[in-house]
Amino acid sequence: MISRILEEVDKLTRKYKTRDPFEIAKGLNIDIIYHDLGNLKGYYYYQSRMKYIVINKNISEDLKPVICAHELGHDRLHLHFAKNFAIREFGLFDMSSKPEREANIFAAELLIDEPKFLELVLAGHTYSDIASELCVPIHLVKNKIDILKIKKC
């Protein structure tokens, strides 16, 4: 499944010439909506052939692209789940379910540019420093390390 995720991200970044999840969502005709969602970070749903990513308007600006990328992963990988109900995100980095792991891997591959990431790793930066430099949560940095290990095999 990881190879399918990597292929999907590669296909999207080549087609839309960007790693910006908002631009990609726009290109895919996915509406992005902002609401006060309380503890919910965001969700993805599909209804009447319309696709939506809903993001909590109260989360930090740095986290909004992460939520968008994660939900975009659900669109590309788990549309069959969203046809019956919304895929809701309370704990973005919940790795206990397969769909959440896959959406996190998708987000890490989409948001983290590999050459820049490798440059930071080879310069001896910590995971925390890399996360800060790339404006992503540390969990995505760990996911990217795992992705690179798989790519080398």
Q: Determine the residue type at 39.
A: N
Sheet bearing 50-56, strands edge to edge: 30-35, 50-56, 42-47, 87-89
pLDDT tens, position by position, 92-126 = 455 567 888 999 999 999 999 999 999 999 999 99
Q: What is the pTM of this model?
A: 0.89
pLDDT given for residue 153 in this prediction? 57
d(C-alpha 147, C-alpha 101), whole Å: 12
- Report the percentage of the chain scoring pLDDT > 70: 88
CB-based contacts of 57-64 (< 8 A; 24+ apart in sequence): 62/135, 62/136, 63/137
- Report the percentage of the chain scoring pLDDT > 90: 75
Using the predicted structure, report yes or no on whether residue 87 has a pLDDT greater than 70. Answer: no
User: Each residue of 96-106: b (16+ CB within 10 Å) or e?
Assistant: eeeebbbbbbb
Helix, strand, or coil (residue 96): coil
DSSP strand E in the chain: where?
Answer: 30-35, 42-47, 50-56, 87-89
**Sign of the dihedral defined by the CA atoms of residues 123, 127, 133, 139, in that order:** positive
pLDDT tens, position by position, 13-32 = 999 999 999 999 999 999 99
